[in-house]
């Protein structure tokens, strides 16, 4: 028979358990919730194959954050890149990884093309194209966290990073079963979130993509960033309003027709995001982003518990309608 442990010893052990770092607790909670989301998604009733499914997009978020922060020299980054490639390779007509070096940093942009419906027409590859883009990296420091000790730690990036990727991967599923009337390019951009760290700019990967692919001139483009929050609000972003007004109007028209309440018909701020290098190159690209930024932005609280399948679905279905109703000339 085992002798009971003295009360003091039990209390000491309990105290040691309670003194675990708060950041570790957040990570455990986040990963636990990611597993829960994936399990729930597997049990969810399937949606029609031709509809954007917010639950499936949410599952992509859960998978990404389960790897950990997508930062340089971290195993999670390569795991995430592999995951994106694996989801695209079976159906994409073209898949290219473009490595680059900038400011002493190494990055990888990934470009997947789904050719237009008229695949038997050899000119379809050279016809109109739509670009959908999102950044797949995460911020290496939680510099806006309320807890000082967390500010040097990387964020998990459920919203800021994973949500845009999730929308694009779910769009890829739709395109694999039904091609759009125009070619759709899904661009996954690296090193977006290094801005204001060691005097680095934002959107390093987007700038490198534009520099490396000067021939690339899509007729329209959409950058999707931070679109999963439960209280998502997407106003008309300023640079998009100035440089791609017609496209922005078309997107908001679709949103109104669909009753997508996360799109609000008011002017938002000018946001320095991945659309800016494309606009500077003369391309018509609109940024879909939560504004004002949610409280979890650039903090350790950017976790899946704040994400909503409904928010993802509203955004995804508007984007899907845009690509499937795009003119072919």
- For the segment 12-46, what is each residue's pLDDT rounded down to a tens digit? 343 333 333 344 444 444 445 454 444 443 333 33
Asked if the structure places residue 72 within a domain, the reply is yes
Segments forming the whole domain that contains residue 213: 25-41+49-324
Res 90: pLDDT: 87
Does residue 180 register a pLDDT over 90? yes
**pLDDT > 90 fraction of the chain, expressed in percent and rounded:** 79
H-type alpha helices, 191-263: 204-212, 238-243, 245-258
Domain count, the chain: 1
Does residue 48 register a pLDDT over 80? no
Res 127: pLDDT: 84
Asked if the structure places residue 37 within a domain, the reply is yes
Tens digit of pLDDT for each residue in 164-176? 999 999 999 999 9
Asked if the structure places residue 13 within a domain, the reply is no
Res 28: pLDDT: 44
pLDDT bin (cut points 50, 70, 90) of residue 73 is: confident
Report, as an integer, the average pLDDT of 45-68. Answer: 86
CA distance 145 to 299: 4
Nearest C-alpha neighbor of 312 from the set 162, 112, 193: 162
**pLDDT > 70 fraction of the chain, expressed in percent and rounded:** 82
pLDDT bin (cut points 50, 70, 90) of residue 119 is: low
Asked if the structure places residue 213 within a domain, the reply is yes
Res 117: pLDDT: 82
Which of 238-247, 296-305, 320-329 has the lowest average pLDDT? 320-329
Does residue 9 register a pLDDT over 80? no
E strand spans, the chain: 94-102, 105-114, 129-135, 183-189, 220-225, 234-236, 263-267, 285-289
CA distance 199 to 194: 9
Average pLDDT for the chain = 87
**Cα 44 from chain centre:** 22
Tens digit of pLDDT for each residue in 227-266? 999 999 999 999 999 999 999 999 999 999 999 999 999 9
Asked if the structure places residue 15 within a domain, the reply is no
pLDDT bin (cut points 50, 70, 90) of residue 197 is: very high
Asked if the structure places residue 4 within a domain, the reply is no
Report, as an integer, the average pLDDT of 283-295. Answer: 98
Does residue 5 register a pLDDT over 60? no
Asked if the structure places residue 143 within a domain, the reply is yes
Asked if the structure places residue 1 within a domain, the reply is no
CATH number at residue 227: 3.40.630.10
- Residue in this structure with the two tokens 């949606």, named with its chain if needed: 47
């Amino acid at each position: 028979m085992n002798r009971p442990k003295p009360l003091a010893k039990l209390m000491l052990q309990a105290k040691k358990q309670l003194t675990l770092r708060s950041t570790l607790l957040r990570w455990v909670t986040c990963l636990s919730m990611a597993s829960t989301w994936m399990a729930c998604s597997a049990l969810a009733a399937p949606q029609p194959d031709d509809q954007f499914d917010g639950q499936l997009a949410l599952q992509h978020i859960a998978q990404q954050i389960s790897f950990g922060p997508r930062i340089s020299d971290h195993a999670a980054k390569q795991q995430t890149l592999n995951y994106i490639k694996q989801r695209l390779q079976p159906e994409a007509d073209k898949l290219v990884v473009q490595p680059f070096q900038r400011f002493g940093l190494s990055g990888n942009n990934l470009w997947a093309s789904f050719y237009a419906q008229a695949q038997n027409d050899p000119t379809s590859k050279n016809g109109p194209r739509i670009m959908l883009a999102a950044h797949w990296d995460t911020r290496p420091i939680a510099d806006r966290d309320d807890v000082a000790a967390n500010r040097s730690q990387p964020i998990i990036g459920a919203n800021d990073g994973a949500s845009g990727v999730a929308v694009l991967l779910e769009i890829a599923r739709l395109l694999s079963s039904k091609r759009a009337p125009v070619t759709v390019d899904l661009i996954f951009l690296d090193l977006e979130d290094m801005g204001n760290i060691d005097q680095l700019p934002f959107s390093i990967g987007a700038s490198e993509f534009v520099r490396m692919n000067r021939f690339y001139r899509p007729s329209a483009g959409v950058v999707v960033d931070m679109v999963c929050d439960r209280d998502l609000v997407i106003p008309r972003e300023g640079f998009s309003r100035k440089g791609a007004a017609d496209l922005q109007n078309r997107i908001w028209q679709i949103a109104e027709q669909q009753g997508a309440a996360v799109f609000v018909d008011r002017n938002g701020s000018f946001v320095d995001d991945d659309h800016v290098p494309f606009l500077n190159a003369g391309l018509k690209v609109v940024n879909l982003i939560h504004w004002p930024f949610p409280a979890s932005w650039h903090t350790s609280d950017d976790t899946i518990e704040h994400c909503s399948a409904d928010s993802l679905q509203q955004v995804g279905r508007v984007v899907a309608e845009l690509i499937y109703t795009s003119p072919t000339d």
